[in-house]
Chain A
Amino acid sequence: MSRPETRQWQPEPEAAPPDLAALLSQVARGDHRAFELVYAELSGPVYGVVRQVLRDPAQSEEVAQEVLLDIWRTASRFDPDRGSAAAWALTIAHRRAVDRIRSENACSRREQKAAEPEPAEDDVVETVAATLEYQRVHRCMDGLTGLQRESITLAYYSGYSYPQVAQLLGVALGTVKTRIRDGLIRMRDCMGVTW
């Protein structure tokens, strides 16, 4: 692949970063175009986190669709004073995924799914999507203690509850609670989250 040869047709206006919060307020007013842009921005992270928790691609697709539809439906409830738009949306996504596994006693199914080989994920998409944030998160994960890292990973990426995490790691419930909080605080500071 050769370097792209850039030619400027006209001076480029100062490109403002897309403002998801502003887009969401347009979505709340029923703006289809704004919703398409929100979809373009959030469908990857929403589908990614749901799939991380549920594993099963078909079920993940179904839940991710519900989440994105929820974003359309409840856009008026997003309050930019209380957090970023991405965090608002991804909170809905993670919660939905966790609700799904907890509501249908999906343990056996998940174990069965886990035994199946994962589809190959060596394509461009993962690379494009993963690079920046993936590296930043994993660099900060490396700064955690083993117990902090495992607790956070099991709780967030696998959707396990406190008691399940405690059982899997063979530690007391109280230990899991403090490790998750301490680890997240360390992650927050490492990634420079300013909320």
Chain B
Amino acid sequence: MRDDLHVLTGGYVLDAISDAEREEFERHLQHCPTCETEVRGLRETAARLALACAVTPPARMERRVLAAAYQTRQLPPLSADRPRRAHPRRRALPRHLTLPPRRARPGRALPRRLAVLAAAASVAAAVALGITQLSAQHQLDQARATAIARVVTAPDAHVETARSSAGGNVTVVTSAALREAVVSTSGMASLPSSRVYQVWVLSPSGARSAGLMHGSSLLAAVRPGDRIGITVEPAGGTARPTTTPVAILPV
């Protein structure tokens, strides 16, 4: 191990070294397992520095990236001269990206039947609300209505209800299997025409807009641990939340 090169591990993972130094260091890395181990640890450390400054990108970026990706040919895997393990180690996410498993609340056994009944009623209400408002407002097409019905009637549908600080209630029905959620509100204060309610999916990496609240909203690609937030925003909505949410619910 050459000391003068080994000291470059830090600058290498922070991209502080010149191209010439990088080339030399990468050649050295191939013959220096100690350096390679250190580089891995420091690279994970640098990643934490990045995670600490996560900012939700504008919503338009997702559409652009997804559209571009699906028209872009992917690179094939590198040839198998470096065989992969038959059972690659599964890597847990860094701690900040994982969320503690949701724990059942103690002492729930008895009221469980009641809770299920209440939840069933709530699902029915969500369906009714969703479908009637939908047809009344012509906001969603039939496919969307079917999608909403599919979520709220999914065998693993999970219901959360919270009061909103704008009055009324917000109900979120989530199907983990479908990775979709339906948000509906009832009795929330009506807003002036210059303001709208906007729905957000909040995850450790930031907030993603799920559009404006119209009766019921269908949210795709939700995951356990995400939270749903509703904020009051200028008409037309914004790329990122600008006000304190009137409600936040777990999915």
Contact = CB atoms under 8 A, between A and B. Distances in A.
Contacts of B18: 161-162
Given A40-B221, A45-B54, A184-B13, A8 B65 contact: no
Interface string A42-84: 1111111101100000000100110011001111110111111
Contacts of B221: 33, 36-37, 40
A68 to B, nearest CB: 5
A35 B66 contact: yes
Interface stretch (B129-137, B138-146, B181-189, B197-205): B197-205
B194 to A, nearest CB: 19
A44 B74 contact: no
A188 B14 CA distance: 13
Given A162-B11, A177-B8, A7 B69 contact: no
Given A1-B248, A184-B10, A159 B96 contact: no
A32 to B, nearest CB: 6
B68 A69 contact: yes
Contacts, number: 357
Q: For the side of the interface on B, what is the size category?
A: 35 or more
Contacts of A19: 90-93
Contact of A123 (B45, B57, B108, B241): B241
Contacts of B220: 36
Contacts of B195: none
Interface residues of A, number: 106
A85 B91 CA distance: 9
Interface string B55-80: 11110011011101110111111100
8 contacts: A9-B116, A65-B68, A72-B72, A76-B76, A76-B77, A87-B47, A130-B53, A157-B53
Interface of B: 7-11, 13-18, 38, 40-58, 61-62, 64-66, 68-70, 72-78, 84-85, 88-94, 96-99, 101-102, 104-105, 108, 112, 115-116, 118-120, 122-123, 155-165, 176, 200-208, 220-221, 223-225, 229, 231, 240-250
